[in-house]
Structure 1
Amino acid sequence: MERARTAARRAPSTDDAERVLASDRDSVTATSLVESIEPDDTFLPSGSHQRRSTFELLNDLPASATLPAEDDSAAAARRGAPPPPVTSLATPSSLRLADEPLPTMVGLPPRLAQAFSAPEVRVDAACLTAETLMLALAEPLRLIHEGRIHPRSIDVRILLPSRDINLAFPISVTSPRDTSVRILDGDPVHQRWLELRNVQGQVLRHNLLALRSTHGIDVRVTFRALPFTPSMKLYLLNGTEALMAYYMITRRAEEVEGQTLETYDTLGAASLLFSYERGGGMRDAAFVDQSQMWFDALWATITTDLTLS
């Protein structure tokens, strides 16, 4: 009798079996739903569907889900062994600007860091003063000095407006619209732009050329002068990525030579940066190719030698 009661307790009832089967079906259904949801999809409590960005979904994750797992370097350090060599960058370079455009000073540094991790680095840029590029290069330069990336060569070509043209911007609000009557040498806004262009370019060139003596890297930095004012800034990285941002013109007050002037100028660092990658499909690849052809054609034809002085 005791064995019969024990067996009865161990045998699952019909209700129990049905509950187990229902649970299994729910698990399979839940798994299939999760696998079918794209990274930027989510569902509202009401059941209605909306598109959400990857950044929003990452922000919704619990803190424990966003913390990086302990890597081999930390474990090796505790054991007293030397850490393994660094094989990846601890930078947000994996963020795709094609999915989420970012302000130029947010998006450009990690993309440059990724580009500088290649053995042969080539950067082509067309811009107004090179200030944003100069600041953004601090990130890959830091990684080089830390020994985390080791490029063998760096070739940088930069197109900047000529000092001898009447710029479309920056200009004084009161400047005559007839560019033929402007006197460039006597225009304080033009002179201030020229000083900024020269200083930013000189600092950029100095910081890169210093890598020759400190790390033995073959570095070349060349400037050419554009006969027009660029309406957008363009960065071409290793022939595989094109980054573009529009110059947004605004009216603002500027301190120029001790006086406050109303000017039409741009805040280039805050412009949204759009990325086109060769591996991002036919549309992106075509944009990268055409942008590189545009830059090379300007470099070889209507631009002139530029002296930063």
Structure 2
Amino acid sequence: MTFAPEPLDPDDDRPPYEQVASSLGAAIRTRRIGPGEKLPSHKALTEMYGFARATIQRALRDLEDEGLVVSRKGSGVFVRNRTERPAGLRPYVEQAFSSSAVTIDFAGFSSETLHGALQEPMDKIRVGRLTPTSITVRILVPDMAVPQAAPVRREDCGDDERLRARMHDIMVGYARSIRDSMSELSHLGLVPETRVDVRVHSGTQFFKLYVVNQEDAFFGYYPIKANKVVAQGEAIEIFDLVGKDTVLFHYSVNDNESSSGTQQVQQARMWFDSVWETIARGYDLDGH
């Protein structure tokens, strides 16, 4: 393998180790360094990037924490072979925005995590570091106008309109913020075409799913936990779907059509499109 890193952005104000980790991570995600391949030595990476050995070591530790590489004593650092692993969503979303046409499909209980993951790439678009020509986001969430399996009152597992109204407001708030941020990028002339669509369905969403640029899928479960919330001015003990710290498992399309990663992404896309095109209904975030 002959690996030559992309030139680092001289205007990037992140610490050097983050810049190196981002560069190597991008090379791994785009298969410029393939699964199972060995990374260049610490000495070679030091020469390539022009940073101290300690900086390179810190960057590699971050990549290992992220689950992209594994260090083998006496052998070096290797890209992980498996695509099924707990993964952080943010770096993959940011990498997706280096493409010309960006697509993100999300199915879940609310779009809070997606909202957070979009902030950094949108900031980079605003300062000209990322320049996609189109962004399309589809958000698929439960219809809080009808009873759900959760959230429910803890005392009797009963439906409570106040809990559904609270979740509705949370969902609408994050989805509207995503839409407005995308519209701003378009109005400012930074991204020629942006589109955010929201649809709802009657079933309770017990898992979250992201499909990024049709090539990467992230899947995680919502555990049910006891919680206490305030709804319409009253504290209520509930059983709640908790997803903020959900472990996401990552699957990627690769050259092997029969590989687990490729099939998982294909099935995720099929499932999302089947629900989106059949039982899901369009939702107006402005309530018109």
Fold match (TM-score > 0.5)? yes
CA distance in 2 between partners of 1:266 and 1:280 (Å)? 37
Match of 2:94 in 1: 113
Is 1:137 paired with 2:122?
A: no
CA distance in 1 between partners of 2:212 and 2:102 (Å)? 8
Partner of residue 253 from structure 1, selected from 217, 221, 228: 228
Opposite residue 99 of structure 2, the aligned amino acid is: A
Contact residue 253 and residue 265 of structure 2 kept, 8 A: yes
Partner of residue 187 from structure 2, selected from 213, 225, 235: 213
- Secondary structure of 2:244's counterpart equals helix
Partner of residue 149 from structure 1, selected from 113, 120, 130: 130
* Shift of residue 169, structure 1, vs aligned partner: 1.5
Partner of residue 298 from structure 1, selected from 272, 275, 281: 275
Contact residue 157 and residue 239 of structure 2 kept, 8 A: no
CA distance in 2 between partners of 1:267 and 1:219 (Å)? 30
Match of 1:63 in 2: 54
Opposite residue 284 of structure 2, the aligned amino acid is: T
Larger Rg: 1
CA distance in 2 between partners of 1:175 and 1:222 (Å)? 36
Partner of residue 190 from structure 1, selected from 136, 146, 164: 164
Match of 1:101 in 2: 86
CA distance in 1 between partners of 2:163 and 2:172 (Å)? 14
- Secondary structure of 2:254's counterpart equals helix
* Shift of residue 217, structure 1, vs aligned partner: 2.4
- Structure 2, unaligned stretches of length 5 or more? 1-35, 39-52, 60-65, 70-79
- Secondary structure of 2:155's counterpart equals coil
CA distance in 1 between partners of 2:58 and 2:227 (Å)? 43
CA distance in 2 between partners of 1:280 and 1:172 (Å)? 48
Partner of residue 284 from structure 1, selected from 261, 268, 287: 261
Contact residue 106 and residue 138 of structure 2 kept, 8 A: yes
* Shift of residue 258, structure 1, vs aligned partner: 2.6
CA distance in 1 between partners of 2:280 and 2:55 (Å)? 54
- Secondary structure of 1:270's counterpart equals coil
Deviations 1:241-283, CA, capped at 9 Å, x for gaps: 1111111111022222332211111331200011000028511
* Shift of residue 127, structure 1, vs aligned partner: 1.0
Q: TM-score, normalised by structure 2?
A: 0.69
Contact residue 254 and residue 260 of structure 1 kept, 8 A: yes
Opposite residue 63 of structure 1, the aligned amino acid is: A
Is 1:268 paired with 2:243?
A: yes
* Shift of residue 129, structure 1, vs aligned partner: 1.3
Contact residue 232 and residue 245 of structure 1 kept, 8 A: yes
Contact residue 110 and residue 139 of structure 1 kept, 8 A: no
Contact residue 165 and residue 228 of structure 1 kept, 8 A: no
Opposite residue 268 of structure 2, the aligned amino acid is: S
CA distance in 2 between partners of 1:110 and 1:93 (Å)? 12
Contact residue 158 and residue 224 of structure 1 kept, 8 A: yes
Opposite residue 173 of structure 1, the aligned amino acid is: R
Contact residue 109 and residue 140 of structure 1 kept, 8 A: no
Q: 1:307 to 1:38 in 2, by over 3 A?
A: closer
Opposite residue 174 of structure 1, the aligned amino acid is: E
Q: Which moved more, 1:290-299 or 1:92-101?
A: 92-101
CA distance in 2 between partners of 1:220 and 1:258 (Å)? 35
Match of 2:27 in 1: none
- Secondary structure of 1:157's counterpart equals strand
Match of 1:204 in 2: 178
Deviations 1:26-82, CA, capped at 9 Å, x for gaps: xxxxxxxxxxx997xxxxxxxxxxxxxxxxxxxxxx7354267xxxxxxxxxxxxxx
The count of residues paired between Structure 1 and Structure 2 equals 219
What percentage of residue pairs aligned between the two structures are identical? 30
Partner of residue 211 from structure 2, selected from 211, 225, 236: 236
Contact residue 84 and residue 261 of structure 2 kept, 8 A: no
Contact residue 93 and residue 110 of structure 1 kept, 8 A: no
- Secondary structure of 2:260's counterpart equals helix
* Shift of residue 142, structure 1, vs aligned partner: 1.5
CA distance in 2 between partners of 1:154 and 1:224 (Å)? 17
Q: 1:213 to 1:188 in 2, by over 3 A?
A: same
Partner of residue 154 from structure 2, selected from 173, 184, 194: 173
Q: 1:149 to 1:64 in 2, by over 3 A?
A: closer
Contact residue 83 and residue 261 of structure 2 kept, 8 A: no
Match of 1:26 in 2: none
